[in-house]
Structure 1
Amino acid sequence: MKTKLFAIALLLPICLTACGQNIKTSESPKPAEASSQVISKPDNPYYSNTDTAKLNVSDAEWKKVLPPDVYEVSRNADTERPFTGKYWNTDEKGNYYCAACGNKLFRSTAKFSSSCGWPSFYEQDNKSSTLYKSDNSIGMERIEVLCARCGGHLGHIFDDGPEPTGKRYCMNSIVLDFVPDSK
């Protein structure tokens, strides 16, 4: 037990530095209504689990339709605290979507336990679901991962993941919605 705590104590500063700043999540996001792999968010007219058309929505409009904690991460590239997000330690089978626009991002079969405190995936659902941008915001060279549909910040990608890709998509739970597979 002491060894495990020691390892976590050593890894936590590395993960904090690697994945970015920390924000406090003011409230847990409301659970998405799931029905036949579709989430409904009536207060967000841009949300769709089936539409893949690129969105061009103003920052002011996003601020109106997104919960404040989702807005801060998605639109301002903030980061939730490690080990606090709802998906960092789940292994349920299903699909992960962008919490801002509903774009399908990841399949649970690509999720792995990285012990960094955020949900990690070794590949995206399809090659066009995410975009990448150079990020030097905290004095490090990193690659930011954005939703290809809405341009929202999701997290960062690193070259320390498992095979077959060797990648680790280190994502923020707050900007992910999850729909479990039908039983």
Structure 2
Amino acid sequence: MQLSRDGNPAPPRRLELSDAQWRERLTPDQFRITRLKGTERAHSSEMCALFEPGRYACVCCGTELFDASTKFDSKSGWPSFTQALAPGLVAYHADHSHGMTRVEATCNVCDAHLGHVFPDGPAPSGLRYCINALSLQKRSVEQ
């Protein structure tokens, strides 16, 4: 997929911590997903059905990554978005694990694993950012 071949733009800032520092900041499940490239069970989060206005930030560094206006019900069991909030916030990497070829999405600020991007989403982008709910924190409009 072209997203992972074109190279990633420079992030707006960087945050790099040791595993011990990340473990202090995150729950065990958040650490497993964001730092060890894990995934949560499909349909395990109420965030899939949450469609109120607001933004979704990286649970590790607080960088706002997605806007609720781009969220849609993909019926995949994970929160899904059609695009990132702005270029440079999400990085893309070829992922050939588990016998599949996919595009991994990570936070470009702190390298947190977010999920994967698939070319089967709705217009206008045609993309489906399939994101682990535990890698995000929902922020209301006024935050």
Q: Same fold judged by TM-score > 0.5? A: yes
| Structure 2 counterparts to residues 108-119 of structure 1, below 5 A | 108-119=68-79
Q: Does 1:149 align with 2:112?
A: no
C-alpha separation in 1, matches of 2:33 and 2:92: 16
Letter of the 1:153 counterpart: H
What's the % identity of the aligned pairs? 40
Structure 1 equivalent of residue 89 of structure 2: 129
Q: What is the DSSP-based 3-state SS (H/G/I as helix, E as strand, rest coil) of the residue aligned with 1:76?
A: coil
What's the CA shift string for 1:36-78, capped at 9, x where partnerless? Answer: xxxxxxxxxxxxxxxx521121222212221111000000111
Quick check: 1:70 aligned with 2:30? yes
Partner of 2:46: 86
Query: 1:124-162: per-residue Cα shift (whole Å, max 9, x none)?
Result: 000111001111111100010000110000000000000
Listed one character per residue, the Cα deviations across residues 88-115 of structure 1 (whole Å, up to 9, x for unaligned) are 1111110000011101100000001100
Matches within 5 A, 1:19-98: 52-98=12-58
Gaps of at least 5 residues in structure 2 are: 1-11
CA RMSD, Structure 1 to Structure 2 (Å): 1.0
**Quick one: higher RCO (CA 8 Å, sep 6+), 1 or 2?**
2
Query: What is the number of residues matched between the two proteins?
Result: 131
Q: 2:71, 2:16 → 1: CA distance?
A: 29
Structure 1 residue runs without a partner (length 5+): 1-51
